[in-house]
Amino acid sequence: MKFHFTLLFLACTMFLSAQSVVDFEEFNLPSETILNGEDQSGGFTSGEIFLPNIYDAQFDAWAGWAITNTTDVTTPGFTNNSAITGSGYNGSSHYTISFDGYANNNMILSGEAAGHPVSGMYVTNSTHAYLSMLDGDAFAKKFGGVTGNDPDFFLLTIKAFYNGTESADSVNFYLADFRFADNNEDYIVDEWIWVDLTSLGAADSLSFVLTSSDVGQFGMNTPAYFCVDDVTVHGQMVSTTLINDPDLLRIYPNPTADFIQLSHAADEPMDCFVYNASGRLLHRQKLNQHSEQISLQHLPSGNYIVRLQGEQTYSAKVVVKQ
């Protein structure tokens, strides 16, 4: 009974407060370009997010955040500012890369976004950090060591600040984890992964801290880079009433063990959202076709809500993950 109430609540009321996705696409850079702060602007604004940046002209070096659309997934070294995915989330062109160096790499919220929880964002490794952990380099070790048994890790910790007060909770996301008893479970992230930040509560800024098992005399040896795309923040109030079309969305197979196939006949761009039974957003994906596959492999068994939403219509259905 509780689950069906949750589904009704999501379908009928959650659009009173909109969510805004900051995807960095408005920078519209020429291909294979990075905005690294060379213009001494001090940072970049996208939607209701400001990303601080420091640029050192003497060494042609930057820290904090940069905007990029580079696609190099094979060249090692710090001059490669690409994500290991070779693109932004869901194949988009632009995304942001962060270097936890000598700059403040907080994410500053403004407007309607400030003072509300950040729903989450997609995160992945940079090519530089990924290849360093995979193969080792002149400064950092190969994760797992010679035998593969070293319990290495690369951890991103995210906290929220509101009115100068740090959140009691933090969200930990492992960009690499080799601490498993079975080495076959060791991994280095090589895809865009949704990181849910709702547990941090209201925020006017987010802080990002990287730690690694590989440290030396001068601190962390693992390259202190990671990439972010499609940050979902609180947006403007919605005055338009969406039309619920129960026949809009078809899902099969249901129940499922791993994947679901979504099919719809909408004449407008659609987004897919996957929620757990308590209403927490677990996955968001733009649909580029009328039929697309969604992976539920990473989710435990249980009931989930799959919602399709456009600017005019929406539809929601319960999916059982076996």
DSSP, residue by residue, 236-277:
EEP-SPPEE-TTSEEEESSSBSSEEEEEE--SS-EEEEEE-T
DSSP letter at 83? B
Q: Look up the pTM and report it.
A: 0.72
**Which CATH superfamily does the domain covering 240-321 fall into?**
SoxY domain (2.60.40.2470)
231 in Cβ contact with 22 (< 8 Å): yes
Choose which CATH entry (3.40.50.970, 2.60.120.1350, 3.90.1530.10, 3.30.450.40) describes domain 19-236.
2.60.120.1350
Backbone φ and ψ of 61, nearest 5°: -125, 150
What is the residue-averaged pLDDT of the chain?
86
Instruction: Determine the pLDDT at residue 281.
Output: 66
Instruction: Determine the pLDDT at residue 13.
Output: 42
Query: Which regions of the chain carry the CATH code 2.60.40.2470?
Result: 240-321
DSSP letter at 126? B
What tokens appear for 9 in the block?
């609540």
Helix%, strand%, coil% for the chain, nearest 5: 10, 45, 45
Question: pLDDT-based confidence at 277, cuts 50/70/90?
Answer: low
Question: pLDDT-based confidence at 286, cuts 50/70/90?
Answer: confident
Give the largest CA-CA distance in the chain.
64
pLDDT tens-place string over residues 12-44: 444 445 678 999 999 989 999 999 988 888 889
pLDDT tens-place string over residues 218-256: 899 999 999 999 999 986 544 445 566 778 888 999 999
pLDDT tens-place string over residues 140-163: 999 999 999 999 999 999 999 998
Query: Which regions of the chain carry the CATH code 2.60.120.1350?
Result: 19-236
